[in-house]
Amino acid sequence: MKNIQGMKNDFPIFRHHPDLTYLDSAATALKPETVIDAVSGYYETLSTNVGRGLYPLAEETTARMEGTREKTARFIGADTEEVIFTHGTTESMNLLASVLADRVKRDDNIVVTAMEHHSNFLPWERLARERGAELRVIPLSADGSIDMEILRNHVGSETSIFAFPAVSNVLGTINPVAAFVREAKRLNPGILTIVDAAQAAGHVAIDVREWDCDFLAFSGHKMFGPTGVGILYGKRGILETLPPYQVGGGMVLDVYPNPPAAGRACASIYKDIPHRFEAGTPDIAAIIGFGAAIDFIGGIGGSAIREHEIGITRYALDRLRSSFGADITIYGPEKAEDRGGLVSFTLSGVHPHDLAQVLGEKNIAIRAGEHCAAPLHRALDIPATARVSFSVYTEEGDVDRLIDGMRDARKIFNI
């Protein structure tokens, strides 16, 4: 296991910006040298397409991409064929909403939670509207969690889809995924369960067999990988019954002109899963870089990462509470152990946008706004929050600089 101290040395951005205090890892994680090297290495030494060429360079590129698929499958406890490459969580959810459309009947309902990122809200809101179904939103308890009793009041025999996040990108709440899936399937064995794992992957252990969810999506860039690659996991038995999302090159075995040849029911023969869902040239460099990101995480160890994130989150919670007392409102679970590595808050007298700007001038990067979670902010009845989020390279000194910067911001606004 790699020493988690001194981790900043693995991230070239800190050589270019030695004064950077990066507290926006929930938006995107910084990239370690090994990932950057894998991306540039692909362009320098391979630079060929996948799944088509019969010459060695193209075969090697295909092998690297498929190697990443195998690593990804091991990373989440899936079979290789159950891993589909997309461009991100957003595309994974839109893909699902498209191919699952026929499963949603008029007067069914689709259930989501009040803590959704828009990427796991809007595709279901639109699908429900288009199919004449009802969108049900599970409200949150005061501590930012989802009460099982309230879940039971929303999920029922007419629920075709239940989509929820493993970890909230605003509250940090870690949902009991396996328990939610179990309860939803008890209430309706035919339900499809969909997990948004964008804020979970690389932070908390994922095991799709243990969770028993039907689908799960996450983005490479939030777990040290390049932008442009996302993952969609689906249970083999379900994926095999679904139509393709997009059609075109790379996803088809044979194509016949219409009308089909005698004795044939359709004009084209699609590939098996997962390639049936991967039309066109993928972001090959990003996928290969994503493989290096999984190796990077493996080199540190998932539990060491989690331990570090709990430690730094606890430190941040303690310092924020002791420094600003009643002037700060912190959202989400009380204890660091019950959260992902992020803290959202409001500070009295300073709008989150002003705070982010003042801190930004000091090279302290935080996020301010709704964080693509307008329904949650509506439920909390606040226009915006400030969010700080952590990763393996976050040190206590970063949190100390944040606290000093927040004190300065209050002075600027005469508080």
For the annotated catalytic residues, the residue numbers are 372
117 scored as a contact of ligand PLP (CB under 6 A): yes
Buried b (16+ CB within 10 A) or exposed e, 126-155: ebbeebebebbbbebeeebbbeeeebeebb
145 scored as a contact of ligand PLP (CB under 6 A): no
Binding ligand PLP (rule: CB under 6 A), the pick from 10, 24, 82, 196 is 196
C-alpha dihedral sign at 158, 161, 167, 168: negative
Count of residues interacting with ligand PLP (CB under 6 A): 13
199 scored as a contact of ligand PLP (CB under 6 A): yes
313 scored as a contact of ligand PLP (CB under 6 A): no
CB of 270 vs ligand PLP, minimal distance in Å: 26
88 scored as a contact of ligand PLP (CB under 6 A): yes
Binding ligand PLP (rule: CB under 6 A), the pick from 119, 313, 344, 394 is 119
CB of 6 vs ligand PLP, minimal distance in Å: 28
- Nearest residue (CB) to ligand PLP, 93 versus 251: 93
Contact segment (CB under 6 A) with ligand PLP among 13-21, 106-114, 194-202, 341-349 equals: 194-202
391 scored as a contact of ligand PLP (CB under 6 A): no
175 scored as a contact of ligand PLP (CB under 6 A): no
Binding residues for ligand PLP restricted to 201-220, rule: CB under 6 A? 219
Q: How far is CA 46 from the centre of its chain?
A: 29
- Nearest residue (CB) to ligand PLP, 8 versus 377: 377
Pick from 113, 336, 320, 321: which is nearest to 204 by CA? Answer: 336
CB of 341 vs ligand PLP, minimal distance in Å: 12
DSSP 259: S
283 scored as a contact of ligand PLP (CB under 6 A): no
C-alpha dihedral sign at 301, 213, 170, 229: positive
Binding ligand PLP (rule: CB under 6 A), the pick from 32, 51, 144, 165 is 165
Contact segment (CB under 6 A) with ligand PLP among 63-71, 196-204, 270-278, 282-290 equals: 196-204
Other CB atoms within 10 A of residue 187 CB: 16
Contact segment (CB under 6 A) with ligand PLP among 49-57, 115-123, 176-184, 335-343 equals: 115-123
25 scored as a contact of ligand PLP (CB under 6 A): no
Name, in order, each residue with C-beta under 8 angstroms of 22's C-beta and a sequence gap of 6 or more: 13, 30, 365, 393, 394, 398
CB of 223 vs ligand PLP, minimal distance in Å: 10
120 scored as a contact of ligand PLP (CB under 6 A): yes
- Distance, in Å, from the CA atom of 336 to the CA atom of 254, rounded to the nearest integer, reads 53
- Nearest residue (CB) to ligand PLP, 61 versus 145: 145
Pick from 98, 155, 92: which is nearest to 127 by CA? Answer: 98
Residue with structure tokens 């946008």? 353
Binding residues for ligand PLP restricted to 346-385, rule: CB under 6 A? 372
CB of 375 vs ligand PLP, minimal distance in Å: 13
- Nearest residue (CB) to ligand PLP, 249 versus 280: 280
Residue with structure tokens 């730094």? 312
Order of strands across the sheet that contains 230-234: 83-86, 230-234, 215-219, 192-196, 159-165, 109-113, 134-138
CB of 231 vs ligand PLP, minimal distance in Å: 10
- Nearest residue (CB) to ligand PLP, 45 versus 246: 246
- Distance, in Å, from the CA atom of 184 to the CA atom of 213, rounded to the nearest integer, reads 10
DSSP H helices in 141-233: 148-154, 177-187, 208-211
CB of 324 vs ligand PLP, minimal distance in Å: 26
- The answer to whether 370 and 384 have CB atoms below 8 angstroms apart is yes
What's the one-letter identity of residue 130?
E
Pick from 221, 260, 280: which is nearest to 51 by CA? Answer: 280
- Distance, in Å, from the CA atom of 154 to the CA atom of 29, rounded to the nearest integer, reads 35
Residue with structure tokens 């939103």? 137
Crossing angle between the packed helical segments 56-76 and 284-300, to the nearest 10 degrees: 40
Binding ligand PLP (rule: CB under 6 A), the pick from 198, 213, 273, 342 is 198
229 scored as a contact of ligand PLP (CB under 6 A): no
Q: Which residues bind ligand PLP (CB under 6 A)?
A: 88-90, 117, 119-120, 165, 169, 196, 198-199, 219, 372
